[in-house]
Amino acid sequence: MLTKRIIPCLDIKNGRTVKGVNFVDLRDAGDPVELAKQYADQGADELVFLDITATLEARATTLEMVLHVAEQVNIPFTVGGGISSVEHVDALLKNGADKVSVNSSAVKRPELVNELADKFGSQCVVVAIDAKKIDNDWFVHLAGGTIPTDIKLFEWAKEVEKRGAGEILFTSMNHDGTKNGFANEALAKLSDILNIPIIASGGAGNVQHFVDTFKEGKSDAALAASVFHFGEIPIPELKKELKKQDIVVRL
């Protein structure tokens, strides 16, 4: 059976990992390659690198970093952050990224999703969606969740699937940073209305939250940052517990 995936997310600035990372046995916690290798050894199924600088100068640095990660890491990884052109994606894939994720740029110019899917195949196009529940509706937000739009989450998700997205990375801004669990109701609805894999993001605080998002949220994968970086939830233990609760994982 296809397993549920556990995906650590690393924020990258100028080619270096940011946010405190608290691995005791790391020589250099800011080195994305070393961190990535560590996560691969722990049993992470994939990795996501989110470039939070995304200035033009930083772009070259990120490309360099992608090349080094591809050289040394033997599990798949996605690169996101500030990607808005076919050329940029081409460079990232040529440097060894397996997938790219696009977010605000796809909202501003939805044809980008078609262009990427046509040229590189849907399998490497992840559309990241940040959304917030306001009254009873989920609205898409841009630029790391800072700019609200009147675009509705489920309509937008449907549209990007039709345009060729291979996967959706959904972050609930109501849950992100709370450590109170994932947005399982919205995630389950996404899984019901779409036929592509859904990655849950935002809200991971304990092991049960992962169990819940795979069961109630019908998520195909779960992404988290701080609970992994600070060693609050070691991946091997997380996977053992998931297995105990009848969730198919790679051990």
d(CA 116, CA 229): 31
Please report how close the Cβ of residue 153 comes to another protein at its closest, in angstroms: 19
Tokens of 136: 């009873």
Among 28, 55, 64, 123, binds another protein (CB under 8 A): 123
Number of residues that bind another protein (CB under 8 A): 36
Of 1 and 56, nearer to another protein (C-beta) is 1
Tokens of 86: 């076919």
d(CA 82, CA 222): 22
Tell which phi-psi region holds residue 66, choosing left (phi > 0), alpha (psi between -120 and 50) or beta: alpha
Q: Which of the following is catalytic: 11, 45, 51, 212?
A: 11
Please report how close the Cβ of residue 52 comes to another protein at its closest, in angstroms: 23
Cβ proximity of 102 and 85 under 8 Å: no
Q: Does 75 bind another protein (CB under 8 A)?
A: yes
Cβ proximity of 195 and 173 under 8 Å: no
Residues 6+ apart with CB under 8 A from 135: none
What type of residue is 79?
Answer: V
Among 34, 98, 115, 216, binds another protein (CB under 8 A): 98
Among 78, 95, 201, 213, binds another protein (CB under 8 A): 95
Among 94, 108, 109, 244, binds another protein (CB under 8 A): 94
Cβ proximity of 56 and 47 under 8 Å: no
Cβ proximity of 3 and 242 under 8 Å: no
Of 70 and 140, nearer to another protein (C-beta) is 70
The site string for another protein over 173-192 (x = CB under 8 A, - otherwise) reads: --------------------
Tokens of 65: 């970093």
Among 57, 74, 136, 246, binds another protein (CB under 8 A): 74
Stretch that binds another protein, among 40-48, 50-58, 143-151, 222-230 (CB under 8 A): 40-48
Stretch that binds another protein, among 71-79, 142-150, 152-160, 204-212 (CB under 8 A): 71-79
Nearest to 10 by CA among 27, 26, 31: 31
41 catalytically annotated: no
Among 28, 64, 71, 185, binds another protein (CB under 8 A): 71
What type of residue is 41?
Answer: D
Q: Does 196 bind another protein (CB under 8 A)?
A: yes
d(CA 215, CA 53): 35
Q: Which of the following is catalytic: 45, 130, 176, 212?
A: 130
Measure CA of the first residue to CA of the last residue in the chain; give whole Å: 13
246 catalytically annotated: no
Catalytic residues: 11, 130
Give me the residues that bind another protein (CB under 8 A), please.
1-5, 40, 45-46, 67, 70-72, 74-76, 90, 93-98, 119-124, 166-167, 195-197, 220-221, 250
